[in-house]
Structure 1
């Protein structure tokens, strides 16, 4: 789910269409600590939270990639 959300955001931010295949992940190096919400250890229950967590991750990544404005302009 984490990889899919990251790839979704990257594809949304790119101007050109790219094929959706394993090669899309080649330039990405995801570092997600084991046992956290985005990389849970079995037997963690994850099915019910996938929609909420993936949307929150997408929102976070979009916000992190947005252009920054000086504090005075906010």
Structure 2
């Protein structure tokens, strides 16, 4: 069980990815998850966004600026 509060861009994106992955199976399907090209592209996009956010965070002095 995963509980995610929506605070900021990365948590909203993470919640969206988990929500899609945890959807009930479509009728006539087994419900097994498998990585396809769409999933890989979405995952790569999320990781690239996350890395950019981290780089900007540390370039701007961290979460608390000079008090961090």
TM-score, normalising length: structure 2? 0.38
Larger Rg: 2
The structure where helix makes up a greater share of residues is 2
